[in-house]
Amino acid sequence: MTDIRKQLLAAFEAEHREHLQAIRTALDHAAGGEIDLTDVFRRAHSLKGAARAVDLPAVEEVAHQLESLFSQVLDGQQSLDEPTIANVRLNLDLIEDLVANILKPTERETASVSKPAPLEPEPAAPKADAPAHTDAGTGAYLRVATGLMEELSDSMHQLLAELQTNEGIDDTLRQIELEIRGLRRSWDQLHAQVNTLGSATQRTPQANGSRNSPSFAPRLRDFDQGLKALFRRLSALSRDRRQSSWSIDQAARLVRDNIDRVSLVSAETVFGGFGHMVREIARKAGRDVNVRSIGLDIQADRQVLQALKDPVMHLLRNAVSHGIEPPDERFAKGKAERAEVTLELASRGGRLVITVRDDGRGPNLARIEDVAIERGLLQPRAAGHPPPMMDQLLSLVFAPGFSTADGVDRLSGRGMGLSVVAEAARKLQGSVLMRPRYPHGTEILLNVPFTAARQPLLLLEAEERMFGLPSHAVVRLLRLPADTLESVEGRPTTRIEIGGQDVIVPVVALAALTGSPNAPLPTEAGHVKAVLVRHGSRTCALAVNMFHDVRTMLVSDIQAVGLNDLVSGTVLLENEMPALVLSPDKLIEHWVKNEGSLAAGGLGLARWNPEEERRARTILVVDDSITTRTLEKSILEAQGYEVLLSVDGIDALHVLRSGEAIVDLVIADVEMPRMDGFGLLQAVKNDPRLSTLPVILMTSRADPEDVRKGLDLGASAYITKQKFDQRELLATIGQVL
């Protein structure tokens, strides 16, 4: 058993005893009517979540049944009578027994510790004519065509997409259950009034003019019993449906993980020979280059790596041809005679980041501007006019056909420029960025998903059209008071703290970039909802009408007429209607191109700090379950984060307002005592000192209204615990930070 598994089970052992004791104590006072049903329900809910965190499905199932029972008692559907209390106590005992059996070592394990296993006699050597047997320890292997594996993976992604679509049925069923519950409450009130009226009528029959008026009591009683029976059946169906959906989803995710383990391959298999190839090319060109490869042991989808094979080789060629100076020029600049080119692969924010960097000349901004003017991408500057901003110029190198090479030779390639790299990244729902290195050189970063098909998206609405925005580029969600927006050259802006800098960020209606140039900023109740996106060091706030959801979806590479540069794919929603998936970097580049003067003035531009990404970030985890806190703390600390813990919203606010630690992110459960996650989020956003702090909500409440409420209050992300996995948590944190 791993150390973290032991820690989690130890934490769960203490936590489950606390919850069981509290529930039993509450039941002891139930006869006197002093029981706090809300606390009892919360403890059953926390016990279920803790059991899920340590992967104890049998305990989770019993806790789920207790949670459902207490929910019915709270809603008045079930009375907490003596038989019910006795049943609850039996379930509490069952949980205690299950946990004891799980934590107790088995007889086999005890025997293996107490006595060594008897030695087996050494087998005789096989005869020469005996058939050779495969060593069981080496494992069995099966050759499978890559096309079949890709089809299997695609089928799995399609299945998960269908399951995700099926969630809408669960939400509808839950809504029907809530509506019938409200109908029953109304009926109970009406039934009491009718009974009161009937009693009054029986006392004064002459008021109705006849003693023989038909009695409605039997019909009302039959209707009441039928309504209650229907409600019980619907509640049972809803519970069974939720449990079945959860089980199917867990099974599908297990299959997905198993398929991923087969379809993911080491980057070494695709990029392993690049170092030798580049050294040979440089040697034939008379240049001494040391090529370093870092992180080639990282695992990624074979399709992704194959799609990037030629673009990465193109970048390495460019590093040698455009970046590295001849030996005499390097000597004159005081550089080492031997140049260095590095290919590095890393996991950052749940995505694959490929960096190609050199210690050569660095980007020639003047040459880039001249070529851009020659190609009509920029207008000639008047004398004395400042040059375009560096990020504007460096984004132009990825335009189709753009090249600063003086000629085409073996070293420079075929003269296609870097557009092939940008196109490959776009097809993978990724991005590419060039920036200078200090003191010398250039680096180009490719940011792509680990798998080609499914992408985490923020679904939003603008001008009655649905769009998907890859969540890796989303910095945070904003709710800006309209009367606080500033104006720069007649364009709305807002001031936002980014990386410790006060940045003036443009606020642009998303609809204005996607086909409605004159679209106004959408406002609701005096506020503007906007999503802050970032490409390189440039940020932009895209105003939208509504945030809908954050989910992982199957993205198809289908182009849209008129939006080719901005659209990276499409997804199908529950109603079979397509939604366009937008490219964040293209949206920002589109704004930069159309608002050249504002962009040249540095609007939305933050100074890039190379050390920023290396600083250890501090995360505050807020959850009333010690097991969940232990699990999340171990996951985050293993990734290099500093972790602080709080037991509820009030405790978290004290930590945040005390100023004893600089917190970069808050991860909060929703259902907590004293102050829940929604209350904590609202308090953070209403505090001027904390309002820019990103908050991720984690909860088992997956109702779309709850998700929308969290996003509207300013949550940076909303993760449901039923679908929680380590990759999703780390990917979401990486996107937010």
Pair (460, 435) in one structural domain: no
Q: Could you report the per-residue pLDDT of 500-555, keeping only the tens digit for each?
A: 678 889 999 998 888 787 888 999 888 999 999 888 778 899 999 988 887 777 77
Planar angle of CA 226, 231, 236, nearest 5 degrees: 130
Domain count, the chain: 4
pLDDT at 344: 92
Per-residue H/E/C for 461-511: EECCEEEEEEHHHEEEEEEEEHHHCEEECCEEEEEEEECCEEEEEEEEEHH
Pair (284, 421) in one structural domain: yes
Pair (346, 430) in one structural domain: yes
Q: Which is nearest to 4 in space by CA: 462, 456, 443, 632?
A: 632
Domain boundary among 429, 448, 467: 448
In a 10 Å sphere around its CB, with 0-12 CB exposed, 13-18 middle and 19+ buried, how is residue 616 labelled? exposed
The CATH number linked to 280 is 3.30.565.10
Count of CA atoms in the C-beta half-sphere (13 A) of 505: 29
Domain presence at residue 609: no
Which H helix or E strand runs over 293?
Answer: strand 289-294
Provide the greatest CA pair distance for the chain: 120
Determine the structural domain holding residue 587 and report its residue range.
454-600
Domain presence at residue 144: no
Pair (398, 298) in one structural domain: yes
Pair (379, 524) in one structural domain: no
Q: Which is nearest to 321 in space by CA: 236, 234, 408?
A: 408
d(CA 472, CA 422): 17
Domain presence at residue 228: no
Domain presence at residue 159: no
Pair (306, 429) in one structural domain: yes
Domain presence at residue 196: no
d(CA 215, CA 109): 73
Which phi and psi angles does 96 have, rounded to 5°? -60, -40
Domain boundary among 416, 448, 480: 448
Enumerate residue ranges in the chain where pLDDT < 50: 106-139, 207-213, 408-416, 611-614
Domain presence at residue 528: yes
The CATH number linked to 562 is 2.40.50.180
pLDDT at 608: 56
Pair (595, 620) in one structural domain: no
Domain boundary among 76, 108, 140: 108
Which phi and psi angles does 235 have, rounded to 5°? -65, -45
Nearby residues of 376 by Cβ (< 8 Å), 6 or more positions away = none
Domain presence at residue 170: no
Pair (42, 22) in one structural domain: yes
d(CA 416, CA 407): 11
The SS3 assignment for 440 reads coil
Q: Which two tokens stand for residue 164?
A: 């995700």
Which pTM was predicted? 0.53
Cα-Cα end-to-end distance for the chain: 33
d(CA 612, CA 499): 8
The CATH number linked to 620 is 3.40.50.2300
pLDDT at 564: 63
- The counts of H helices and E strands in the chain are 22, 23
For 326-348, b/e burial (b = at least 16 CB within 10 A) is ebeebeeeebeeebbbbbbbebb
d(CA 660, CA 642): 14
d(CA 732, CA 477): 14
d(CA 516, CA 531): 18
Q: Where are the alpha helices (DSSP H) in 104-145?
A: 107-114
Q: Which long-range contacts (CB under 8 A, 24 or more apart) does 22-30 make?
A: 23/66, 23/88, 23/92, 24/89, 24/92, 27/85, 27/88, 27/89, 30/80, 30/85
Residue 471 and residue 456 in contact, taking contact as beta carbons nearer than 8 Å: yes
d(CA 281, CA 284): 5
Strand 501-509 relative to strand 491-498: parallel, antiparallel, unpaired?
antiparallel
Pair (582, 633) in one structural domain: no
d(CA 545, CA 524): 8
Domain presence at residue 51: yes
Q: Which is nearest to 671 in space by CA: 708, 712, 700, 632?
A: 700
Pair (318, 395) in one structural domain: yes
Pair (693, 660) in one structural domain: yes
pLDDT at 445: 92
Pair (521, 406) in one structural domain: no
